[in-house]
Each structure stands twice: as structure tokens, then as C-alpha cells.
Amino acid sequence: MPSHNLAQIKIDDLEIIGYSVAGEETVVAMPQLDVCFDIGKAPHQIISINHILLTHGHMDHAAGIAYYLSHRNFSGQSPGTILAPKNLLGPMREIIDAWTRLDGNKVPANLVGVKAGDEYQIKPNLFTRVFPTKHSKGSVGYTVLEKRKKIKSEYAKLTGPQIVELKKQGIEIDNPLEIPIVTYLGDTQNVDFSQLKYIVESKILIAECTFYETEHSGRAEAGRHMHINEFAELIEKLQNEHIIITHTTQRTPMRDIRRILKEALSPEKYKRVILFMDKIRR
Ligand SMILES: [Zn+2]
Ligand SMILES: [Zn+2]
């Protein structure tokens, strides 16, 4: 039985499922990439995903880790891999140890500490790259990118045997090619993410925009969250084809959020935007 209904989006052949309301729960999974950004309360639908990419330790984003590990163990799955900011690994191990004592069963875990600039391999051609965010100590975001090789233009017209011959001679005939598929910002204030080319060029951007009303700008600042004014400024500098907004506040009704978004964004950006919580399947 599903724990609760999740939002569902499909972009080309990539599904994005999850739930994201500020202070309540944030979990965003992309099953085809085998990654789940943050884990929320570990809804049933994401348990079989093998890579959990945690952005920071706030309860609404991270509470589900012990349940995820325990349930995978219980159902005979491997522990999977949980990537998390390095400074969180100690407390995460303490929680898992405490649950082992509470539950009476060992909870196997594979925790990997990350910091800005790190890269981690998910599948043979699929990697995640870690970048800094401005939210809590050590908080990070993740880009998932595909790495391919592209034959150099001067060799493009060669036949198979000619290519084999060049390779035998040790000649490098390919250029490395990176295709950023998705960037997940997690919770963050705006920092100039346009400095990072792989964020600018990610096909999909999943970004928090928590607050919308003018009188909420102080709350955004205090909690280190994005206000619509900051968000509008940020996305003008990026080139993402699809922009998914997560972490919306419960203080503003969805219909007002929709209206404010339309007013604040240029038409060209507005048409690329999807409000994640508009896509809940009932
Ligand atoms: Zn949050
Ligand atoms: Zn947070």
C-alpha cells in the first residue's frame, strides 16, 4: 500500500515522483536514473531506489533514512547507498545505531560523505556532482550527468577499421562529452548558481521556491530559503528546459502561488515551470 499519494511528472522518458511541502516533507525521486533527492519520510514508492542523495539534515528532508535502510534489509534488498554532506555522517551513524538497539535487528548501511566538488558514479555512464548551497552547515545540491565520448570532428568520416587502427596506435580519437540531465538545488537561498555551467545547462532544474508574498521575504531570509523575487532573478540566468518548483509554503494557497508566479516570471520562463505539488495523483 502506498504511504501517501505522490506527485508524478514525466519529461520525455524520465519520471519524477515525490512530495515537497516546506516544513512537512521533501522527497524527489527519479527512478530511471536510480536516484532519490532527499528522502522525506521514506514513502513506500521510493524504497527500491538504490541511491539517496541527501542535501542537508533537516527532519522534513532526512527523517526517513532509518526506515529506508531497515525496510530494504527486511525485504532482502541491499542497503543501497546514501550520499550526505560529510558533517552529517557522525549523527546519521548514531541514529542508525540507536535504531539497531531499539529494533533489535542490525540495520546495514552504506553511507558516503560528500562535499562540494565531489563526483560519485551511479551507473557506468551516469555520475552525480556535488555543489555548495546556502542553507545549513555543509548543505549541498546535486547534478546528475551523463558522460559520453564524442568522436573528434577530424575523425568523424573514418571507417571502422581505420578507427581501430588509430586506437591501436594509441591516438585519442574522442572528446569527452558531459550531458547534465537534472540539477536538484535542495533548500537554499539564491547564490549565483549561473557560475556553474552544468547547472545552467541542466535539462531539468528542480529548485525550491518557498515564499511568494512580499511580507514573507523576512521569513525566507531567516530560514535561508528562496523567495519568488530571488527565484525569478536566478532562473533568468539559467537555460533549463524544464523548471520544477518544490518546497512551497503552506502559508500561501496554491492558487495564489500560481498567480504570483505568473506575474513574477517572464512568459518565456513561466511556460517552462511546473509546480510539483500541482501534480499530486489523487
Ligand atoms: Zn526544507
Ligand atoms: Zn532545510
Q: What is the pLDDT along the chain (282 residues), one digit of tens a residue?
A: 566 899 999 999 999 999 999 999 999 999 999 999 999 999 999 999 999 999 999 999 999 999 999 999 999 999 999 999 999 999 999 999 999 999 999 999 999 999 999 999 999 999 999 999 999 999 999 999 999 998 898 888 889 898 889 889 999 889 999 999 999 999 999 999 999 999 999 999 999 999 999 999 999 999 999 999 999 999 999 999 999 999 999 999 999 999 999 999 999 999 999 999 999 987
1 in a structural domain = no
Residue 114 CA to ligand 1 center (angstroms) comes to 19
Residue 133 CA to ligand 1 center (angstroms) comes to 13
pTM over 0.85: yes
127 in a structural domain = yes
- How many CB atoms lie under 10 A from the CB of residue 196? 19
Residue 181 CA to ligand 2 center (angstroms) comes to 24
Q: Note whether 85 and 120 are within 8 A (CB).
A: no
Residue 76 CA to ligand 2 center (angstroms) comes to 32
Range of the domain at 89: 7-279
Query: Cell 514573507 belongs to which residue?
Result: 216
Residue 276 CA to ligand 1 center (angstroms) comes to 14
Residue 248 CA to ligand 2 center (angstroms) comes to 12
187 in a structural domain = yes
Q: Which ligand is nearest to the CA of 20?
A: 1
| 195 torsion bin: left (phi>0), alpha (psi -120 to 50), beta (else) | alpha
| Strand pairing report for 51-53 and 81-85 | parallel
Give the whole-angstrom CA distance, residue 70 versus residue 60. Answer: 19
232 in a structural domain = yes
93 in a structural domain = yes
Q: For the chain, how are helix, strand and coil distributed in percent, rounded to 5?
A: 35, 30, 35
Residue 22 CA to ligand 2 center (angstroms) comes to 8
Torsion of CA 116, 122, 126, 130, to 10 degrees: -10
Confidence at residue 3, expressed as pLDDT on a 0 to 100 scale: 66
Residue 149 CA to ligand 1 center (angstroms) comes to 37
32 in a structural domain = yes
Confidence at residue 2, expressed as pLDDT on a 0 to 100 scale: 64
Q: With 0-12 CB in 10 A as exposed, 13-18 as middle and 19+ as buried, what is 282?
A: exposed
Q: H helices of the chain, where?
A: 59-62, 65-74, 89-103, 160-168, 197-200, 217-223, 228-236, 254-264, 267-270
Q: Which ligand is nearest to the CA of 56?
A: 2
Q: Which ligand is nearest to the CA of 22?
A: 1
Q: Which residues contact 248 (CB under 8 A, 6 or more apart)?
A: 20, 21, 22, 209, 210, 254, 257, 275, 276, 277
Question: Torsions phi, psi of 155, nearest 5?
Answer: -105, 0
Q: Which ligand is nearest to the CA of 133?
A: 2
Q: Which ligand is nearest to the CA of 40?
A: 1
How many domains is the chain built from?
Answer: 1
Give the whole-angstrom CA distance, residue 210 versus residue 214. Answer: 12
What is the domain-level CATH number for residue 160? 3.60.15.10
Residue 21 CA to ligand 1 center (angstroms) comes to 8
Q: Which ligand is nearest to the CA of 249?
A: 1
81 in a structural domain = yes
2 in a structural domain = no
Q: Which ligand is nearest to the CA of 26?
A: 1
